[in-house]
């Protein structure tokens, strides 16, 4: 029943989306511009909560005859994890690798940009294929840009150590965005996105705990039970302002809600400050807060009775907040022959993130169930990349 | 009846097309001229100056937060155990 309802909603939304895309293409406009030709090579590193993930990312973009721009991305996550979830499940530190390939094409057609893309992500227990289509158009004297996007993902979920387990997840994203030049120094934008997911939404390695009916001082763990569908809406409002002394101030607010009763808010503030012609400094602050899913509890009272009696103790579904403090330095210089390379830059960006959980407890040090300390951790995120324009 | 909002949107779009993106009787013209947009063209005004770096940070948040969407980008796997 739930599957049929979701399919109906999906089909209705797809019809509306195609109609909106056609209407958008009909609007008279000024010429759009393809993205710049550039190549980036990046080393990224995330360290926090017993997890270290690092690896390279290589992104290359090139246009052909000024009508088609093609980009390719190669990305690797090398994971070494002894997170609280791994430790409390009784497993030991594990290592794995995720490799991702993306290919996108942007086509300048009748003053609009049509985009299509494909991404493949592979790890030993998860495979994801994502197809993307989008259209973007400038109009009203180039002051307004409308963007529409649709992506569909087919994922296969597996479990290491359990060859019999294999399940599917279907993802669909619908995006709509408007950006508007409001004054010579201010640009504002609104984005809206609906995500529908259907299939195996659990993490097969996670479990929930409930009070042992025979001994209240003891708990029993079982594999989590999630709903098979999830639909969410997110809307964001952003603005970027050019300050009189050549610097930029930006702000963004996002509100998210889904049918699992998760409501989340994100505030982001940014300040970009160039020094001379070669240096750019970036400062960011981000605050995120979410409520828990209706079937989340750190300590459930009873065992689930059937597949509709949902249970989760996944900290990503708990009530929590995080804060990010970020700083970035970019240095632009001329590399080699200026007839081949327009410019190049080297960039270092560092973010410090503090996670504070409001109803997820750290049960590594055994205590009376429900009285353990609340969990929190800090993460350090590093991005070092070299870019070249040609 | 359900098709009415889309029909209205279609008619509104067509009227915009026919009128050259102007409204009558009050005509609205683009109020920031092309020669006034040098600040908008400055790279520091780009919302996504370095796509390779911003898509990575989206991934960092998506793997650890319940919320997602309305921030641009494609999709992919998780790597979040």
pLDDT tens by residue, A59-86: 999 999 989 999 999 999 999 999 999 9
Residue B19 confidence (pLDDT): 47
Is there a contact between B74 and A351 if contact means CB atoms under 8 Å apart?
no
Of residues B9, B40, B79, nearest to A23 (C-beta): B9
pLDDT at residue A316 in the model = 96
**pLDDT attached to residue A125:** 94
Note the ipTM here: 0.91
8 A C-beta contact, residue A320 and residue A355: yes
Smallest CA-to-CA distance from A242 within A278, A268, A267, A270 is with A270
Which candidate in B46, B67, B80 is best for mutational testing of the A interface (most A CBs within 10 A)? Answer: B67
Q: Do B66 and A26 touch (CB under 8 A)?
A: no
Distance from CA of A371 to the nearest CA of B (A): 24
Q: In whole angstroms, what is the distance from residue A76 CA to residue A100 CA? A: 6
- What value does the mean pLDDT take over residues A373-383? 98
* Mean pLDDT computed over every residue of chain A: 91
For all residues of chain B together, what is the average pLDDT? 73
Query: What pLDDT, on a 0 to 100 scale, did the predictor assign at position A259?
Result: 97
- A98 vs B contacts (CB less than 8 Å): 77, 79
pLDDT band of B59, cuts 50, 70, 90: very high
Which chain B positions have a beta carbon within 8 Å of A44's beta carbon?
56
In chain A, the percentage of residues whose pLDDT exceeds 70 is 92
Ranking A74-78, A90-94, A238-242, A345-349 by mean pLDDT, the lowest is: A90-94
Report how far residue B42's alpha carbon sits from residue B23's, in angstroms, rounded to the nearest whole number.
31
Contact yes or no for B66 and A316 at CB 8 A: yes
- Say yes or no to pLDDT of B30 above 50: yes
Q: How far apart are the CA of B61 and the nearest CA of chain A, in angstroms?
A: 10
Partner residue facing A290 (CB), from B51, B67, B79: B67
Backbone phi, psi, residue A87, to 5°? -60, -45
Split at pLDDT 50, 70, 90, the class of A29 is: very low
pLDDT at A190 exceeding the cut of 80: yes
Whether residue A23 and residue B13 make contact (CB cut-off 8 A), yes or no, is yes
A79 burial class (0-12, 13-18, 19+ CB within 10 angstroms)? buried
| pLDDT > 70? residue A22 | no
Query: How confident is the model at residue B2, as a pLDDT?
Result: 44
Tell me which chain B residues have a C-beta less than 8 angstroms from the C-beta of A159.
none
Residues of A in contact with B65 (CB under 8 A): 264, 288, 290, 316, 322
Q: Tell me, what's the pLDDT at A15? A: 61
> N- to C-terminal Cα distance for chain B?
47
pLDDT of residue A171: 96
State the pLDDT at residue A315: 96
Question: Which residues in chain A have their CB less than 8 angstroms from residue B34's CB?
Answer: 141-142
- Greater confidence (A3 vs A316) lies with A316
Q: A191: which strand partners?
A: A177, A236
Report whether pLDDT(A206) > 80: yes
HSE, CB side, 13 Å, CA atoms: give it for residue A87.
12
Q: How confident is the model at residue A28 (pLDDT cuts 50, 70, 90)?
A: very low
Q: In the structure encoding, which two tokens stand for residue A3, read together?
A: 């599957």
Residues 45-84 in A contacting B (C-alpha not used; CB under 8 Å): 46, 53, 57, 59, 73, 77, 79, 81, 83
Over residues A93-121, the mean pLDDT reads 94
CB-based burial, A155-172: b 16+ in 10 Å, e otherwise: bbbeeeeeeeeeeebbbb
Q: Higher pLDDT residue, B9 or B39?
A: B39
User: What is the DSSP pairing of strand A94-109 with strand A144-158?
Assistant: unpaired
Residue B20 confidence class, pLDDT cut points 50, 70, 90: very low
From chain B, pick out residues whose CB is under 8 angstroms from the CB of A122: 77
Domains and CATH numbers, chain A: 2-389 (2.40.160.40)
Distance CA(A178)–CA(A267), nearest Å, equals 19
**Does A159 lie at the interface with B, CB-CB under 8 angstroms?**
no
Give tens-digit pLDDT for A248-291: 999 999 999 999 999 999 999 999 999 999 999 999 999 999 99
Give B 7-26 residues with CB within 8 A of chain A. 9-10, 13-14, 16-17, 20-21
Can you read off the two tokens belonging to residue A357? 């959980």
Q: What does the pLDDT read at residue B78? A: 37
Q: How does pLDDT run across A127-175, given as a tens digit for each residue?
A: 999 999 999 999 898 899 999 999 999 999 999 989 999 999 999 999 9
Average pLDDT over residues A22-50: 76
Provide the pLDDT for residue A13: 56
Q: Which of A239-253, A271-285, A357-371 is the least confident region?
A: A357-371
Q: What pLDDT sits at residue A237?
A: 97
User: What is the average pLDDT across A223-247?
Assistant: 97
Q: What is the pLDDT of residue A336?
A: 78
Residue among B10, B31, B74 minimizing CB distance to A23: B10
**pLDDT given at position A1:** 45
Considering only CB atoms, B40 lies closest to which of A23, A44, A181, namely A181
Chain A CB contacts of B51 under 8 Å are 40, 59
Q: Given A27, A155, A246, which is nearest B16 (Cβ)?
A: A27
Chain B nearest C-alpha distance from A389 (Å): 12
């Amino acid at each position: 029943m739930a599957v049929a309802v979701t399919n109906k909603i999906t089909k209705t939304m797809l019809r509306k989306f195609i109609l909106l895309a056609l209407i958008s293409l009909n609007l008279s406009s000024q010429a759009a511009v393809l993205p710049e030709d550039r190549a980036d090579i990046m080393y990224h590193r995330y360290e926090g909560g017993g997890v270290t993930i690092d690896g390279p990312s290589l992104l290359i973009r090139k246009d052909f005859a000024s009508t088609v721009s093609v980009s390719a991305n190669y990305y690797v996550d090398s994971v070494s994890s002894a997170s609280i979830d791994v430790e409390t499940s009784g497993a030991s530190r594990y290592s794995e690798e995720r490799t991702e390939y993306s290919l996108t094409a942007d086509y300048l057609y009748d003053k609009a940009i049509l985009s299509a893309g494909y991404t493949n992500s592979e790890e030993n227990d998860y495979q994801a294929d994502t197809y993307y289509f989008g259209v973007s158009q400038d109009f009203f004297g180039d002051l307004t840009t409308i963007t529409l996007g649709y992506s569909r993902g087919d994922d296969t979920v597996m479990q290491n150590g359990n060859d019999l387990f294999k399940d599917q997840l279907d993802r669909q994203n619908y995006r709509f965005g408007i950006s508007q030049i409001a004054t010579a120094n201010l640009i504002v934008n609104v984005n809206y996105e609906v995500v529908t997911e259907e299939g195996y939404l659990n993490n097969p390695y996670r479990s929930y705990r409930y009070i042992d009916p025979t001994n209240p001082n003891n708990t029993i763990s079982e594999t989590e039970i999630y709903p098979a569908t999830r639909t969410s809406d997110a809307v964001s409002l952003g603005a970027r302002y050019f300050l009189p002394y050549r610097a930029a101030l930006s702000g963004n607010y996002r509100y998210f809600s889904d049918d699992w009763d998760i409501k989340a808010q994100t505030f982001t503030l940014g300040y970009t400050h160039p020094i001379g012609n070669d240096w750019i400094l970036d400062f960011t602050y981000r605050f995120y807060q979410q409520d828990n899913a209706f079937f989340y509890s750190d300590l459930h009272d009873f065992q689930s009775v059937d597949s509709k009696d949902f249970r989760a103790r996944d900290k990503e579904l708990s009530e929590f907040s995080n804060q990010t403090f970020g700083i970035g330095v970019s240095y632009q210089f001329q590399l080699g022959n200026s007839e081949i390379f327009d410019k190049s830059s080297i960039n270092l960006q560092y973010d410090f993130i503090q996670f504070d959980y409001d109803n997820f407890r750290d049960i590594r040090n055994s205590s009376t169930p429900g009285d353990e300390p609340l969990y929190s951790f800090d993460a350090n995120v590093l991005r070092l990349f070299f870019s070249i324009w040609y | 009846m359900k098709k009415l909002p889309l029909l209205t949107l279609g008619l509104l779009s067509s009227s915009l097309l026919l009128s050259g993106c102007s409204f009558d009787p009050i005509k609205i013209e683009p109020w920031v001229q092309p020669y006034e947009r040098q600040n908008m063209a400055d790279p520091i005004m780009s919302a996504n100056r370095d796509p390779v770096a911003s898509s990575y940070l989206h991934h960092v948040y998506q793997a650890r937060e319940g919320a997602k969407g309305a921030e641009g980008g494609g999709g992919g796997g998780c790597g979040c155990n």
